[in-house]
Amino acid sequence: MKIAVIGAKGLPPKQGGIEHYCAGVYPRMVAQGHQVDLFGRSSYTDLAPFEEHDFEGVRTISMPSLGMRGMDAFVGSAIGAVMASRTPYDIVHFHALGPSLFTWLPKIATRSKVVVTCQGLDWQREKWGKLSSRLIRLGEQAAVKYADGLVVVSDDLRQYFQKTYFRDVIYIPNAPGIYADSDPYFTFGKSLGLEQGKYMVYLGRLVPEKCPDLLIQAFRQLQNTGWKLVLVGGTSDTNSFTAHLQGLAGGSPDVVFAGELRGGRLAEIVRGAGLFTLPSNLEGLPLAMLEGMQEGLPVVASNIAPHQQLIGDDRGLLFQAGDLDSCVAALTWAIDHPREMRAMGDRAQQHVKCYYTWDQITRDNLSLYHSLLGGVSPKVAVTAQ
Protein backbone atom coordinates (compact mmCIF):
# COMPACT_ATOMS: atom_id res chain seq x y z
CA MET A 1 0.00 0.00 0.00
CA LYS A 2 0.97 3.62 -0.53
CA ILE A 3 0.06 5.69 2.54
CA ALA A 4 0.09 9.46 3.15
CA VAL A 5 0.14 10.81 6.71
CA ILE A 6 -1.07 14.33 7.53
CA GLY A 7 -1.27 16.10 10.89
CA ALA A 8 1.97 15.05 12.55
CA LYS A 9 4.59 17.77 13.01
CA GLY A 10 7.37 15.55 11.77
CA LEU A 11 9.80 12.75 12.56
CA PRO A 12 11.86 11.92 14.52
CA PRO A 13 9.58 12.72 17.45
CA LYS A 14 10.63 15.50 19.79
CA GLN A 15 7.55 16.43 21.79
CA GLY A 16 3.94 15.40 21.26
CA GLY A 17 1.90 12.22 21.45
CA ILE A 18 0.98 12.16 17.75
CA GLU A 19 4.61 12.25 16.67
CA HIS A 20 5.52 9.40 19.01
CA TYR A 21 2.49 7.48 17.73
CA CYS A 22 3.66 7.89 14.13
CA ALA A 23 7.18 6.85 15.10
CA GLY A 24 5.75 3.70 16.67
CA VAL A 25 3.48 2.69 13.78
CA TYR A 26 4.75 3.81 10.39
CA PRO A 27 8.30 2.39 10.43
CA ARG A 28 6.68 -0.96 11.23
CA MET A 29 4.45 -0.60 8.18
CA VAL A 30 7.47 0.21 6.03
CA ALA A 31 9.21 -2.91 7.37
CA GLN A 32 6.25 -4.93 6.06
CA GLY A 33 6.70 -3.54 2.54
CA HIS A 34 4.36 -0.54 2.55
CA GLN A 35 5.35 2.96 1.42
CA VAL A 36 4.66 5.82 3.83
CA ASP A 37 4.98 9.56 3.10
CA LEU A 38 4.53 11.83 6.12
CA PHE A 39 3.80 15.51 5.51
CA GLY A 40 5.30 17.40 8.46
CA ARG A 41 6.06 21.04 9.22
CA SER A 42 9.30 22.90 8.54
CA SER A 43 8.96 24.72 11.89
CA TYR A 44 9.32 21.35 13.64
CA THR A 45 11.80 19.55 11.42
CA ASP A 46 14.06 22.62 10.94
CA LEU A 47 14.23 21.79 7.22
CA ALA A 48 13.46 24.01 4.26
CA PRO A 49 9.92 23.89 2.82
CA PHE A 50 9.38 20.74 0.75
CA GLU A 51 12.75 19.33 1.80
CA GLU A 52 12.66 15.59 2.51
CA HIS A 53 14.43 13.26 4.86
CA ASP A 54 14.16 9.60 5.82
CA PHE A 55 13.11 8.34 9.25
CA GLU A 56 13.42 4.57 9.51
CA GLY A 57 12.09 4.21 5.98
CA VAL A 58 9.32 6.81 6.36
CA ARG A 59 9.69 9.60 3.78
CA THR A 60 9.12 12.81 5.73
CA ILE A 61 8.34 15.94 3.71
CA SER A 62 8.41 19.35 5.41
CA MET A 63 5.52 21.65 4.57
CA PRO A 64 5.91 25.45 4.74
CA SER A 65 5.08 27.07 8.08
CA LEU A 66 3.87 30.54 8.98
CA GLY A 67 5.38 30.51 12.44
CA MET A 68 2.14 31.91 13.86
CA ARG A 69 0.57 30.56 17.03
CA GLY A 70 -2.15 28.08 16.20
CA MET A 71 -1.80 28.39 12.42
CA ASP A 72 1.09 26.03 11.65
CA ALA A 73 -1.12 22.96 11.97
CA PHE A 74 -3.76 24.32 9.61
CA VAL A 75 -1.35 25.65 6.99
CA GLY A 76 0.85 22.56 7.00
CA SER A 77 -2.14 20.23 6.86
CA ALA A 78 -3.81 22.18 4.06
CA ILE A 79 -0.70 22.06 1.89
CA GLY A 80 -0.17 18.42 2.82
CA ALA A 81 -3.73 17.59 1.76
CA VAL A 82 -3.14 19.32 -1.58
CA MET A 83 0.10 17.39 -2.08
CA ALA A 84 -1.56 14.11 -1.15
CA SER A 85 -4.37 14.81 -3.61
CA ARG A 86 -1.85 15.09 -6.45
CA THR A 87 -0.42 11.59 -5.87
CA PRO A 88 -2.24 8.25 -6.16
CA TYR A 89 -2.21 7.07 -2.54
CA ASP A 90 -4.24 4.12 -1.33
CA ILE A 91 -4.74 5.64 2.12
CA VAL A 92 -4.57 9.25 3.31
CA HIS A 93 -4.42 9.17 7.10
CA PHE A 94 -5.09 12.37 9.08
CA HIS A 95 -4.06 12.64 12.73
CA ALA A 96 -5.91 15.04 15.08
CA LEU A 97 -9.08 17.03 14.52
CA GLY A 98 -7.61 20.35 13.33
CA PRO A 99 -5.85 18.83 10.30
CA SER A 100 -9.02 16.83 9.56
CA LEU A 101 -10.61 20.07 8.37
CA PHE A 102 -9.03 19.21 5.02
CA THR A 103 -10.24 15.61 4.70
CA TRP A 104 -12.60 16.73 1.95
CA LEU A 105 -9.71 17.42 -0.43
CA PRO A 106 -8.48 13.85 -1.01
CA LYS A 107 -12.04 12.60 -0.57
CA ILE A 108 -13.40 14.47 -3.58
CA ALA A 109 -10.20 14.73 -5.67
CA THR A 110 -8.89 11.16 -5.47
CA ARG A 111 -9.87 7.55 -5.05
CA SER A 112 -7.85 7.32 -1.85
CA LYS A 113 -9.54 6.07 1.29
CA VAL A 114 -9.47 8.67 4.05
CA VAL A 115 -8.74 7.69 7.65
CA VAL A 116 -8.78 9.98 10.70
CA THR A 117 -7.31 9.16 14.11
CA CYS A 118 -8.65 11.29 16.95
CA GLN A 119 -6.19 11.45 19.86
CA GLY A 120 -8.37 13.85 21.85
CA LEU A 121 -10.98 16.60 21.62
CA ASP A 122 -8.47 19.35 20.92
CA TRP A 123 -11.08 22.11 20.66
CA GLN A 124 -11.46 21.78 24.45
CA ARG A 125 -7.83 22.75 25.10
CA GLU A 126 -7.55 26.08 26.90
CA LYS A 127 -4.59 27.35 24.88
CA TRP A 128 -6.68 27.83 21.75
CA GLY A 129 -8.62 31.02 21.14
CA LYS A 130 -12.21 31.09 19.92
CA LEU A 131 -11.29 31.02 16.22
CA SER A 132 -8.86 28.14 16.54
CA SER A 133 -11.30 26.16 18.70
CA ARG A 134 -14.04 26.74 16.13
CA LEU A 135 -11.80 25.54 13.30
CA ILE A 136 -10.84 22.44 15.26
CA ARG A 137 -14.52 21.71 15.93
CA LEU A 138 -15.19 22.07 12.20
CA GLY A 139 -12.35 19.60 11.66
CA GLU A 140 -14.15 17.16 13.94
CA GLN A 141 -17.33 17.53 11.90
CA ALA A 142 -15.39 17.12 8.65
CA ALA A 143 -13.82 13.92 10.00
CA VAL A 144 -17.24 12.51 10.80
CA LYS A 145 -18.54 13.43 7.33
CA TYR A 146 -15.62 12.55 5.06
CA ALA A 147 -13.52 9.88 6.77
CA ASP A 148 -13.99 6.35 5.45
CA GLY A 149 -12.51 5.11 8.71
CA LEU A 150 -12.58 7.00 12.02
CA VAL A 151 -10.21 5.78 14.75
CA VAL A 152 -10.20 6.78 18.42
CA VAL A 153 -7.58 5.98 21.06
CA SER A 154 -9.81 5.58 24.12
CA ASP A 155 -13.16 4.15 25.04
CA ASP A 156 -14.24 7.57 26.28
CA LEU A 157 -13.71 9.02 22.78
CA ARG A 158 -15.57 6.13 21.22
CA GLN A 159 -18.59 6.86 23.39
CA TYR A 160 -18.36 10.57 22.53
CA PHE A 161 -18.58 10.01 18.76
CA GLN A 162 -21.35 7.46 19.11
CA LYS A 163 -23.45 9.72 21.33
CA THR A 164 -22.73 12.99 19.50
CA TYR A 165 -22.79 11.86 15.87
CA PHE A 166 -24.18 8.29 15.99
CA ARG A 167 -20.99 7.40 14.16
CA ASP A 168 -19.38 3.98 14.55
CA VAL A 169 -15.64 4.24 15.12
CA ILE A 170 -12.71 1.87 15.48
CA TYR A 171 -10.92 1.76 18.82
CA ILE A 172 -7.15 1.42 18.44
CA PRO A 173 -5.25 2.61 21.54
CA ASN A 174 -1.85 4.19 21.97
CA ALA A 175 1.18 2.26 23.19
CA PRO A 176 4.24 3.36 25.14
CA GLY A 177 7.60 4.08 23.60
CA ILE A 178 10.71 2.39 24.94
CA TYR A 179 13.01 4.63 26.92
CA ALA A 180 16.68 4.84 26.10
CA ASP A 181 19.35 3.37 28.35
CA SER A 182 19.98 5.58 31.34
CA ASP A 183 22.92 6.36 33.62
CA PRO A 184 22.98 3.84 36.48
CA TYR A 185 24.84 6.39 38.62
CA PHE A 186 21.98 8.91 38.35
CA THR A 187 24.45 11.68 37.51
CA PHE A 188 21.99 14.06 35.87
CA GLY A 189 19.40 13.53 38.59
CA LYS A 190 21.96 14.34 41.26
CA SER A 191 22.88 17.51 39.38
CA LEU A 192 19.25 18.59 39.85
CA GLY A 193 19.44 17.89 43.57
CA LEU A 194 17.31 14.74 43.36
CA GLU A 195 17.42 11.49 45.32
CA GLN A 196 16.19 8.34 43.62
CA GLY A 197 12.76 7.25 44.80
CA LYS A 198 12.18 10.51 46.70
CA TYR A 199 10.52 12.64 44.06
CA MET A 200 7.36 12.63 41.99
CA VAL A 201 7.58 13.36 38.28
CA TYR A 202 5.14 15.17 36.01
CA LEU A 203 5.82 14.50 32.32
CA GLY A 204 3.97 16.50 29.69
CA ARG A 205 3.58 19.89 28.10
CA LEU A 206 3.12 22.77 30.53
CA VAL A 207 -0.41 23.63 29.44
CA PRO A 208 -3.53 24.51 31.45
CA GLU A 209 -5.59 21.41 30.65
CA LYS A 210 -2.88 19.15 32.12
CA CYS A 211 -3.18 21.06 35.42
CA PRO A 212 0.44 21.28 36.56
CA ASP A 213 -0.65 24.35 38.56
CA LEU A 214 -2.96 22.16 40.67
CA LEU A 215 -0.11 19.71 41.20
CA ILE A 216 2.31 22.41 42.34
CA GLN A 217 -0.24 23.80 44.78
CA ALA A 218 -0.99 20.32 46.15
CA PHE A 219 2.69 19.46 46.50
CA ARG A 220 3.44 22.66 48.42
CA GLN A 221 0.76 21.70 50.96
CA LEU A 222 2.56 18.46 51.80
CA GLN A 223 4.37 18.66 55.13
CA ASN A 224 7.93 17.47 55.87
CA THR A 225 7.92 14.57 53.42
CA GLY A 226 11.48 14.98 52.14
CA TRP A 227 10.11 14.58 48.59
CA LYS A 228 10.55 16.85 45.58
CA LEU A 229 8.38 17.56 42.54
CA VAL A 230 9.99 17.48 39.10
CA LEU A 231 8.15 18.92 36.10
CA VAL A 232 9.48 17.62 32.79
CA GLY A 233 8.14 19.25 29.65
CA GLY A 234 8.26 22.22 27.36
CA THR A 235 5.74 24.91 26.56
CA SER A 236 3.20 24.78 23.76
CA ASP A 237 2.35 28.41 22.96
CA THR A 238 1.95 28.83 26.73
CA ASN A 239 4.89 30.95 27.94
CA SER A 240 2.69 33.11 30.17
CA PHE A 241 1.27 29.99 31.82
CA THR A 242 4.78 28.71 32.48
CA ALA A 243 5.59 32.00 34.20
CA HIS A 244 2.45 31.51 36.32
CA LEU A 245 3.67 28.04 37.33
CA GLN A 246 7.04 29.41 38.37
CA GLY A 247 5.22 31.98 40.48
CA LEU A 248 3.24 29.22 42.20
CA ALA A 249 6.48 27.38 42.94
CA GLY A 250 7.69 30.50 44.73
CA GLY A 251 11.34 29.69 44.18
CA SER A 252 11.12 26.54 46.30
CA PRO A 253 14.13 24.25 45.75
CA ASP A 254 11.75 21.30 46.10
CA VAL A 255 9.94 22.19 42.85
CA VAL A 256 12.26 21.50 39.92
CA PHE A 257 11.52 22.65 36.37
CA ALA A 258 13.66 20.26 34.35
CA GLY A 259 12.53 21.52 30.94
CA GLU A 260 12.09 19.33 27.90
CA LEU A 261 14.23 16.19 28.22
CA ARG A 262 15.00 13.45 25.73
CA GLY A 263 16.96 10.26 25.44
CA GLY A 264 18.99 9.03 28.38
CA ARG A 265 18.29 12.07 30.56
CA LEU A 266 14.52 11.64 30.22
CA ALA A 267 14.83 7.92 30.97
CA GLU A 268 17.01 8.63 34.01
CA ILE A 269 14.57 11.09 35.56
CA VAL A 270 11.51 8.93 34.94
CA ARG A 271 13.12 5.70 36.15
CA GLY A 272 14.46 7.37 39.27
CA ALA A 273 11.07 8.72 40.38
CA GLY A 274 9.07 7.33 43.25
CA LEU A 275 5.73 8.42 41.75
CA PHE A 276 4.40 9.41 38.34
CA THR A 277 1.72 12.11 38.49
CA LEU A 278 -0.73 13.33 35.88
CA PRO A 279 -3.45 15.71 37.13
CA SER A 280 -5.00 16.50 33.70
CA ASN A 281 -8.57 17.57 33.04
CA LEU A 282 -8.31 16.52 29.39
CA GLU A 283 -6.50 13.59 27.73
CA GLY A 284 -6.98 11.17 24.89
CA LEU A 285 -5.00 8.15 26.04
CA PRO A 286 -1.80 9.60 27.51
CA LEU A 287 1.42 8.13 26.14
CA ALA A 288 3.43 9.60 29.01
CA MET A 289 1.36 7.66 31.53
CA LEU A 290 1.63 4.46 29.50
CA GLU A 291 5.40 4.89 29.44
CA GLY A 292 5.51 5.43 33.19
CA MET A 293 3.35 2.34 33.73
CA GLN A 294 5.63 0.34 31.43
CA GLU A 295 8.55 1.25 33.70
CA GLY A 296 6.61 0.01 36.74
CA LEU A 297 6.21 3.47 38.28
CA PRO A 298 3.31 3.90 40.72
CA VAL A 299 0.83 6.41 39.28
CA VAL A 300 -1.27 9.09 40.96
CA ALA A 301 -3.66 10.75 38.51
CA SER A 302 -6.93 12.61 38.14
CA ASN A 303 -10.03 10.46 37.71
CA ILE A 304 -10.92 11.46 34.13
CA ALA A 305 -12.22 8.59 32.00
CA PRO A 306 -8.98 7.82 30.05
CA HIS A 307 -7.06 7.58 33.33
CA GLN A 308 -9.72 5.29 34.78
CA GLN A 309 -9.33 3.10 31.71
CA LEU A 310 -5.58 2.80 32.31
CA ILE A 311 -5.16 2.62 36.08
CA GLY A 312 -8.61 1.64 37.35
CA ASP A 313 -9.01 -1.73 39.09
CA ASP A 314 -6.24 -1.00 41.60
CA ARG A 315 -3.44 -0.28 39.08
CA GLY A 316 -2.92 3.25 40.41
CA LEU A 317 -4.39 5.91 42.64
CA LEU A 318 -7.04 8.34 41.37
CA PHE A 319 -8.16 11.67 42.81
CA GLN A 320 -11.05 13.97 41.92
CA ALA A 321 -10.08 15.98 38.83
CA GLY A 322 -9.59 19.67 39.59
CA ASP A 323 -9.96 19.19 43.36
CA LEU A 324 -6.97 20.46 45.32
CA ASP A 325 -7.86 18.75 48.61
CA SER A 326 -8.41 15.41 46.86
CA CYS A 327 -5.03 15.75 45.13
CA VAL A 328 -3.28 16.54 48.41
CA ALA A 329 -4.92 13.53 50.08
CA ALA A 330 -3.93 11.18 47.25
CA LEU A 331 -0.29 12.33 47.21
CA THR A 332 -0.11 12.03 51.00
CA TRP A 333 -1.52 8.50 50.95
CA ALA A 334 0.83 7.46 48.15
CA ILE A 335 3.92 8.72 50.02
CA ASP A 336 2.77 7.06 53.25
CA HIS A 337 2.02 3.67 51.60
CA PRO A 338 5.02 2.77 49.43
CA ARG A 339 4.41 -1.00 49.53
CA GLU A 340 0.85 -0.69 48.28
CA MET A 341 1.90 1.77 45.58
CA ARG A 342 4.67 -0.56 44.36
CA ALA A 343 2.11 -3.36 44.06
CA MET A 344 -0.11 -1.07 41.97
CA GLY A 345 2.87 -0.23 39.78
CA ASP A 346 3.59 -3.92 39.20
CA ARG A 347 -0.02 -4.59 38.20
CA ALA A 348 0.00 -1.59 35.87
CA GLN A 349 3.22 -2.75 34.23
CA GLN A 350 1.77 -6.17 33.45
CA HIS A 351 -1.43 -4.57 32.14
CA VAL A 352 0.51 -2.46 29.64
CA LYS A 353 2.51 -5.46 28.44
CA CYS A 354 -0.72 -7.37 27.78
CA TYR A 355 -2.87 -4.73 26.09
CA TYR A 356 -0.77 -1.90 24.64
CA THR A 357 1.87 -2.85 22.07
CA TRP A 358 2.95 -1.12 18.86
CA ASP A 359 2.98 -4.38 16.92
CA GLN A 360 -0.72 -4.94 17.68
CA ILE A 361 -1.59 -1.30 16.96
CA THR A 362 0.18 -1.52 13.60
CA ARG A 363 -1.75 -4.69 12.76
CA ASP A 364 -5.04 -3.03 13.71
CA ASN A 365 -4.33 -0.01 11.48
CA LEU A 366 -3.33 -2.22 8.54
CA SER A 367 -6.44 -4.31 9.08
CA LEU A 368 -8.54 -1.15 8.82
CA TYR A 369 -6.71 -0.06 5.67
CA HIS A 370 -7.22 -3.44 4.01
CA SER A 371 -10.92 -3.46 4.90
CA LEU A 372 -11.42 -0.02 3.35
CA LEU A 373 -9.67 -1.14 0.18
CA GLY A 374 -12.01 -4.08 -0.25
CA GLY A 375 -10.78 -6.67 2.19
CA VAL A 376 -12.55 -8.14 5.19
CA SER A 377 -13.95 -5.85 7.85
CA PRO A 378 -11.53 -5.10 10.69
CA LYS A 379 -12.08 -6.54 14.11
CA VAL A 380 -12.81 -3.75 16.52
CA ALA A 381 -10.26 -3.85 19.32
CA VAL A 382 -11.68 -4.71 22.72
CA THR A 383 -11.17 -2.02 25.32
CA ALA A 384 -8.70 -3.16 27.95
CA GLN A 385 -10.32 -3.51 31.32
Q: What pLDDT, in 10s, does the model give residues 35-91?
A: 999 999 998 888 999 999 999 999 999 999 876 666 777 889 999 999 999 999 999
Give the pLDDT confidence score for residue 381 in this predicted structure: 47
Please provide the average confidence, as pLDDT, over all residues in the chain.
92
Quickly state the pLDDT bin for 238 (edges 50, 70, 90): low
In this structure, the chain runs to a length of 385
C-alpha–C-alpha distance, residues 349 and 351, integer Å: 5
Q: Is the pLDDT at 350 greater than 90, yes or no?
A: yes
Q: CATH 3.40.50.2000 region(s) of the chain?
A: 2-175+357-372, 187-355
- 119-144 mean pLDDT: 83
Q: Is the pLDDT at 355 greater than 70, yes or no?
A: yes
**Angle 206-27-357 from CA coordinates, rounded to 5°:** 65
| Residue 21: strand pairing partners | none
- 254-266 mean pLDDT: 95
- H/E stretch holding 6 reads strand 2-6
Instruction: Give the gyration radius of the chain's Cα atoms.
Output: 21
Burial-class residue 365 by CB neighbours within 10 Å (0-12, 13-18, 19+). buried
Give the pLDDT confidence score for residue 284 in this predicted structure: 86
- 233-256 mean pLDDT: 88
What pTM did the predictor assign?
0.82
Q: Which CATH superfamily is domain 2-175+357-372 in?
A: Glycogen Phosphorylase B; (3.40.50.2000)
C-alpha–C-alpha distance, residues 186 and 191, integer Å: 9
C-alpha–C-alpha distance, residues 142 and 116, integer Å: 10
Cβ–Cβ < 8 Å for 225, 334: no
187-355 fold = Rossmann fold (3.40.50)
Burial-class residue 46 by CB neighbours within 10 Å (0-12, 13-18, 19+). exposed
CA 329, 196, 201, 193 dihedral sign is: positive
Higher pLDDT: 73 or 236? It is: 73
Spell out where 52-162 has E strands: 52-55, 58-63, 91-95, 113-118, 149-152
Q: What pLDDT, in 10s, does the model give residues 270-314?
A: 999 999 999 999 898 898 999 999 999 999 999 999 999 999 889
Cβ–Cβ < 8 Å for 64, 76: yes
Give the pLDDT confidence score for residue 91 in this predicted structure: 98
